[in-house]
Structure 1
Amino acid sequence: MTQELIDTLPALRQGRSLVVAIDGPSGSGKSSVSKEVARRLKLAYLDTGAMYRAVTWYCLNGGTDLSDGAAVEQASKDMPLDISTNPYDEYVLVGGTDITEVIREPAISAAVSAVATTLGARTELIRRQRELIEKHHRRMVVEGRDITTVVVPGAEVRMLLTASEQARLRRRGIQLGGTQNAEQLAAQVTHRDAKDSTVVNFTQAADGVVTLDSSELDFEQTVQAALGIVSKVINRD
């Protein structure tokens, strides 16, 4: 993208809704890329995956049986969640307890699919996600696994950010600072994707969703490509 085009991006659809919905598998870079896109477009940002992780922590911390769908659904409704929508300030609080870091630990990663595949819990979290989107006057980058098809299928921009399995495993390993072995990385990336794909399709783009394959792109190149998609789609309107 040219610098001139970059300079005009924050002015896109001023005073009107601009939801950028980004889906993708684990390790595709969607969180870091989405956050940076939100910063450059001066939009709010929502990491929906953190919400599922928060419910997982809330259930484990409270002794809720993750195999009891009704109990997990109720926990998702009861959980007092405060999650950042500021791309410059990441935090996740439950009942005032800061769980920003703990929800990224292997124990949560290993258990989160139990929440993500509980349909009642998904329904409640989708309700909360839509509420946050409306709170920000539909000017937000929202990322997850079902954003383009379920949460905001009417988003102005919808994209699927993907990458090869090799690239995703490598990136997640770097993100975790080399603290995970190959088996743990596979559990966090490919195994979780396999479980979650039983309730939502985040590996193939639905009609109207633009695919961005970042396998051969570095972070800045991926951000630029994502911004290019936003500009192209919006300027087509």
Structure 2
Amino acid sequence: MNSSARSVAPGLVVAVDGTSGSGKSSTSRGVADRLGMRYLDTGAMFRAMTWWLLRAGVDVHDPTAVAARCAEPAIVSGTDPLAPTITVDGVDVATAIRSDEVNAAVSPVSAVPEVRSRLLELQRAVIAAESAESGIVVEGRDIGSVVVPDAPVKLYISADAAARAVRRAAEQGGADVAATQESLLARDKIDSGRATAPLTMADGAVHIDTTPYTLDEVIGLVVALVEDVGAHP
């Protein structure tokens, strides 16, 4: 935790939604660190579920099969913004859930209502437990609209598709930018069009387009917003 972190109001929840590759994960971790808050990556939970289903031999494109098995894995998320962890049945899967195989399968798994219901329960339990003393920054695609609709701070983070592709390709060690952009846009379409908890900007959310800003600048903008809503009671 940042030794110079400023305290925030107990129970404060910052809900961060947005598109893939927009910088919401790095922003969320940075804000949590600066303000001495906890951090929850809900996307990692969906990836962990997907990883488990693939390992279990479940057809991830069969919603009925996915629904039948999604209650089985024990998924545990760590909330340290500087070293977030995720385990499935006690196995560290932080690296495994970023594989191409999981990338290709996470959208259909995330669209299954039973999966979203199961993980929503887990997410709310983590938020209730971890926000009590230091507050928590929660990032995903339906945080402000579904998971914590009464969050005092709601953000929707986006960026130009080309900029997102360059950033994500760099994160992946120099992947093809054009192919990465196509993949990101496909993911956006799936997430925005699904029937259950689609990606959308929640009522009352502040929209931040990160395209023209550095990461540090975006973190500064969000920290200022959090302080504006009374982070220092």
Consecutive unaligned residues in structure 1, runs of 5 or more: 1-6
Aligned residue number for residue 12 of structure 1? 8
Q: Pick the aligned partner of 1:79 from 73, 95, 103.
A: 73
Q: Pick the aligned partner of 2:114 from 120, 127, 136.
A: 120
Q: Pick the aligned partner of 1:89 from 83, 86, 98.
A: 83
Aligned residue number for residue 190 of structure 1? 185
Aligned partner letter, 2:137:
V
- Give, in angstroms, the shift of residue 174 of structure 1: 1.2
> Deviations for 1:120-174, whole angstroms, at most 9, x for unmatched residues?
1111111110011011145210000000100000111111011111111111111
Does structure 2 retain, via aligned residues, the 8 Å contact 1:70–1:120? no
CA gap of 1:188–1:97, structure 2 versus 1, over 3 A, is: farther
Task: Report the secondary structure of 2:230's partner residue.
Answer: helix
Show the 5 A alignment for 1:33-112: 33-112=27-106
Distance 2:113 2:94 in 1: 24
Distance 1:233 1:145 in 2: 22
Does structure 2 retain, via aligned residues, the 8 Å contact 1:73–1:124? no
CA gap of 1:183–1:62, structure 2 versus 1, over 3 A, is: farther
Aligned residue number for residue 202 of structure 1? 199
Distance 1:141 1:81 in 2: 19
Distance 2:178 2:103 in 1: 13
Show the 5 A alignment for 1:123-142: 123-138=117-132, 139-142=135-138
TM-score under structure 2 length normalisation: 0.90
Structure 1 stretches of 4+ moved >4 Å: none
TM-score under structure 1 length normalisation: 0.89
Task: Report the secondary structure of 2:33's partner residue.
Answer: helix
Distance 1:181 1:223 in 2: 28
Does structure 1 retain, via aligned residues, the 8 Å contact 2:162–2:181? no
Question: Does 227-236 or 56-65 show the bigger shift?
Answer: 227-236
Consecutive unaligned residues in structure 2, runs of 5 or more: none
Distance 2:198 2:71 in 1: 24
- Residue 217 (structure 1) aligned with residue 213 (structure 2): yes
- Give, in angstroms, the shift of residue 220 of structure 1: 0.4
CA gap of 1:53–1:188, structure 2 versus 1, over 3 A, is: farther
Distance 1:79 1:222 in 2: 35
Aligned partner letter, 1:108:
V
Does structure 2 retain, via aligned residues, the 8 Å contact 1:24–1:30? yes
Distance 1:164 1:107 in 2: 26
Distance 1:140 1:177 in 2: 30
- Residue 150 (structure 1) aligned with residue 146 (structure 2): yes
Distance 1:82 1:127 in 2: 12
Cα RMSD of the aligned pairs, angstroms, is 1.9
Distance 2:229 2:154 in 1: 9
Question: Does 85-94 or 213-222 show the bigger shift?
Answer: 85-94
Distance 2:230 2:68 in 1: 39
Distance 1:74 1:10 in 2: 45
- Give, in angstroms, the shift of residue 181 of structure 1: 2.1
